[in-house]
Every structure is written in C-alpha cells, then in structure tokens.
Amino acid sequence: MDKKIAMVGVGNMGGAIAMALAKKGYSLILSNRSLEKLEKFKSFDQVEITRDNREACEKADYIFIGVKPQQMEALVEDLKDSLQKPLVSMVMGKSLGDMEALLGHKKLVRIMPNTPAQVGESMTAAAFGQDLNSEERQDIQELLMAFGAYKEVPEDQFSAFCALCGCMPAFIDLFIEGASDGAVYCGLKRQDSYEFLAQTLKGVAKLLEESKKHPGVLKDEVTSPAGSTIKGVHELEKGSFRYLISQAVITAAKNS
C-alpha cells in the first residue's frame, strides 16, 4: 500500500499497532505529546515522529486516533479541518455516531483491538461507517489484518467484545502466573515454565481453531479416568473456575 498512515496518540494500544505496522514496512507518521514513547520508532526508516498532531494528520492518507476519551473533543476542536480523511478510531466509549457528530463526516471505522497487536496477533472488532468507498475500505481492512485478525461486530456488542478479548489477555496472564507458581513449587525453573506454558497455550488455541470441536470435547480428550488431569480439573471446579471466568467477563462488560 503506497499510503501514509498517521497515528495520533501512541500509548499502549496505539504504540502496539504502530509497532506492528512499522515492522511490516508501512509508511507512518506518529504523533504523541511525549517523545519518550516515540524513541523506539527512530530506527525505522519509513517512520516519522512528531509532537505536532496537525502535521501528522495533514501528511497522512489515513488517520488512526488513539487518544483518551476525555481528550477527543479538544483534539477535534483543534484539528477538525485536518481530520476530514478516512479515520480509524480506537477511542473507548465513542461510537460511530459520536464521531460523526464531532467530525461532520462518515468516513470512519471504529475498532477495538487488544494488546497482542504488538506481535501481529490482535483480535480486533471493527464497525465501518457508511461513506467509505471500496478502495478506502479495502485499505483499512489490509491495515487491520497487518496487526492480527479482525471481525465486523455490531456496535451494541462492543462491550461484550471488550470484556472477552480486550480484558482477556490480563485474565490469561493471571492464569499463567498462577500456573507458573505451581510449576516452580514442583521444581521447574520460572523461565522454563513460561516457555512451556506459552507454547501449550498456542497449541491449544490452534487446536480449537482448526478442529472446530467444542472446548469441552477437547478437555475430555485429555482427561482419562482417575488420571492427573481430571484430578486437577476437580480442584479447579471446587473453586468454581468456570463460574469465576464467566463472572469476570460479565463484570468487565458491564464496566466497558
């Protein structure tokens, strides 16, 4: 794609997406109030960095916005004339309707990625505005796939998606930490346990994706009668493991 992409706001998520795009050779201009967060991009020849949001937007063909919700109105007030381009928003809590009202146009995409974007493995929800032409839509789809997978999701399901995929990396990391503690207790080295768990989780995810089997069926394939796995599952269920995971997602959705 011979287009320049601006990223306004290079925080955790904006930075993750920018890094994935930079590694794939896209032409970027990154704008952030703090130059400290831009330092790691200086080694990429195709990446410009600036503290000037207007410069970033005016040079770009497509604009990604990754600022905090409370900063959005001031940003638009300052840059409205520069934002009349296809714009991808990851601003929490701002619907397409909200963005249309602020910007006065509908060349918009609302996305909700997650932190594995930084290694090109995000799961991203996307809702497309009405006025994107076919080339613009195709270009944005290419950009979304450059940092992982995406799926079009109705906006009224974004809160549930956020809880399931936006919050889930933290839940999984918590699980990994606890599992690693158990492994270390049993004699494994900490770093080895992380390596083993990471590969196991990748394998489980790929098996679920490719086999199309119900996760309960996959679980049953590992649990032999009176074996160590079913005894471990029994311990998890004594602590209401599935209920707690379900409630974590529901609680996160209510607060998204």
Do both 221 and 143 map to the same domain? Answer: no
Average pLDDT of the residues of the chain: 95
255 is in an annotated binding site: no
Boundaries of domain holding 64: 4-153
Task: Yes or no: say if 252 and 162 are a contact pair by the CB < 8 Å rule.
Answer: yes
Distance CA(165)–CA(125), nearest Å, equals 9
- How high is the pLDDT of residue 34? 82
Residue 89 sits in the same domain as residue 196:
no
Say if residue 62's pLDDT is above 90: yes
Q: Is residue 159 part of a domain?
A: no
Do 146 and 177 belong to one domain? no
Looking at the fold, whether 94 and 27 belong to one and the same domain comes out as yes
CATH number for position 130:
3.40.50.720
Q: Quick check: 100 and 125 in contact, CB under 8 A? A: no
On whether both 147 and 172 belong to a single domain, the answer is no
Q: Residue 234 falls within a domain, yes or no?
A: yes
Q: Does residue 219 share a domain with residue 101? A: no
Residue 37 confidence (pLDDT): 86
Residue 80: its pLDDT value, please? 86
For residue range 188-239, list pLDDT tens digits in order: 999 999 999 999 999 999 999 999 999 999 999 999 999 999 999 999 999 9
Q: pTM here? A: 0.90
Same domain, 98 and 220: no
Mark which of 124, 153, 182 sits at the end of a domain: 153
Band (pLDDT 50/70/90 cuts) for residue 57 is: very high
Q: Does residue 160 form part of some domain?
A: no
Closest C-alpha to 130, from 155, 105, 150: 105
Please give the sequence-ordered ranges of beta strands (E in DSSP) within the chain, or none if there are none: 4-8, 27-31, 47-50, 62-65, 87-89, 108-112, 122-128, 148-152
Q: Quick check: is 9 in a domain?
A: yes
Across 164-176, average pLDDT = 96
CA proximity to 59, closest of 1, 140, 3:
3
Residue range 109-153, pLDDT digits in tens: 999 999 999 899 999 999 999 899 999 999 999 999 999 999 999
**Within this chain, do residues 83 and 138 fall inside the same structural domain, yes or no?**
yes
Q: How far apart are CA 132 and CA 128, in angstroms?
A: 8
- Show which of 94, 118, 153 is a domain's final residue: 153
pLDDT reported for residue 244: 97
Rounded Cα distance between 41 and 226, Å, is 54
Q: Count Cβ atoms within 10 A of the Cβ of residue 223 and give its class: 0-12 exposed, 13-18 middle, 19 or more buried.
A: middle
On whether residue 158 sits in a domain, the answer given is: no
Q: How many domains does the chain have?
A: 2
